[in-house]
Structure 1
């Protein structure tokens, strides 16, 4: 029994190490928000000339271009919070939408509606908090998205001050690229101290609700390694967690 569990755990570890060597995807034209944010590590979906990108990223203890990406659609981070009682996970997520990635349609951000779905069920099941992050109330309250076009350089996106509704309307009417970097707990409730599997999905929809483009990622949160005195228990939990992740990935 011990050998069976250990072999399974080693197989899971080897598979992760191999998949971690896969190449990372970029978004177009670049990462335009903030400064020091590298391109790459995105899970990208492009249909109907609309590109959608999602990635998870290390946020604490120090923000870094560390994505722990498997090269397909899954990101791995340890359970934990930024400070005791903060409720902030060690990871955050970032998204990018380009409504005219080929530069041929002239479509702007305002020409579509959007749906961001954030899974708050740590199990293999899914339960989503959903909202429009660009045209909905959340966006209008914050208005901190970075906007640009296909020529905008890294970190050179344009933002407006919170509450500047006319300025925001001007940006969504005249740009085809919008991006942001967000912390998960701002929009839904999870326990950052427990292991879990979370699904994030971004959809771009037509005015009549037709799905035009989408991207989705899985964020695997692993428990902090157990003391050496409990290796068999830790191995067993890791294998059970992986099996649950595979079931959820197939369902997604």
Structure 2
């Protein structure tokens, strides 16, 4: 069985973060492992508190994983401060981690800020250069590229700026009123659009976490990057189409749609 490690924060409501990652990996036939960067108090309506682990303890978690069950891929999600990012980068380099997917989680679906200001530069200098691909959404890509993104041409410009600056592939995720659900991959000076279906579902809590985890699953299975992205998009589309309705705010998607429907 292939294995994937998620390094991210915990979401007690189960829609995003570590919980979403583990569900996604399980639904995609992967053995999931986790290193928790922070506990959060959140639900579908917002984030009310964040309690980080110490860098030392996060390092201990990563040591425990890499020295026993070596992951075939690593997904990095919410890491809210520079010291935590630095210890992650140190450990991934030491253990020669492979197939690293970085989701630069800056703001939650509900609009809550999840990244301290000092962490952005650490992401840029420490983690992005190690990644096979990073997966910013439109607002995140705008911050990272330094340009306003209003249309598809702006997405191309932003992805190129980010990719050339950090030497990694960039999946600029669509939506946010810029286009439908089309994502843009910039890799090795080439562009590829992944067409997506716009689904009328307001329950999108954890969609970014889910997509990046699903991409890591594909890479762990030996897929090339483009195939892994397409597989991940198909999985997320199915989870949205399931139209799960939970919570009073932006509810979670149905991570188990592809296995639960067959068992009812």
TM-score (norm 2): 0.25
The structure with the largest strand share of the pair is: 1
TM-score (norm 1): 0.26
Q: Which structure's relative contact order is higher, taking Cα pairs within 8 Å and 6+ residues apart? A: 1
Give the number of the structure whose alpha-carbon radius of gyration is greater.
Answer: 1
The structure with the largest helix share of the pair is: 2
